[in-house]
Amino acid sequence: MFSESKKGVLMMKRKILVAYDGSDLSKEALQEAKFQARGIPETEVYVVSVVTQAGPSTNTAVARSIQWELAEKIKPDMEVIEEDFKQEDITINTDIIIDAVNRNAGTRICNHADAYDIDLIIVGSRGLGGVKKMILGSVSNRVVQESDCPVLVIK
């Protein structure tokens, strides 16, 4: 997590993962990652979008086709995100994960975080009304429960 600068001063290297699903809260999570990356040189931001099982579970071919279609629809967003971060000179990595085993996307986010030694996960919480306001969305809840690193939930 620390690296030595040219002047021999220790600098903190940090990896932030943002879970992105196109929602307003995931866009706010991107802005938070950008804000935090500006404050610490050598910060790397990883933006991950997980496409889970979609369509009828009885027809695997149809479900798979829908997943690939959803992944294709999110690609332009990821390209815009990459360009936005690069313009601010922030190292960015994007990935779209297709989860064929119908797990909660939060599990895949945590697996990705582990694989890349992520220091912080930023995830949006679903905006629920009434009594449900007290409960995190299923993905953000799963990330909070399973993550081995700190998690920042955007509400």
pLDDT, tens digit (0-9, with 9 covering 90-100), for 117-153:
999 999 998 754 444 444 446 889 999 999 999 999 9
Q: How sure is the predictor about 41, in pLDDT bands with cuts at 50, 70 and 90?
A: confident
CA distance 31 to 52: 24
For residue 43, give Cα distances in angstroms to 31, 40, 47, 67, 88. Answer: 14, 6, 13, 31, 12
In the predicted model, what is the mean pLDDT of the chain?
A: 83
CA distances from residue 39 to 16, 36, 92, 100 in whole angstroms, order as listed: 13, 5, 15, 37
| pTM passes above 0.75 | yes
Q: Above 90 in pLDDT, residue 154?
A: yes
Q: Which CATH architecture group holds 2-154?
A: 3-Layer(aba) Sandwich (3.40)
Tell me the domain boundaries of the chain: 2-154
Task: Round to whole Å and give the CA distance between 18 and 92.
Answer: 11
- The first and second tokens of residue 61, run together, are 């071919």
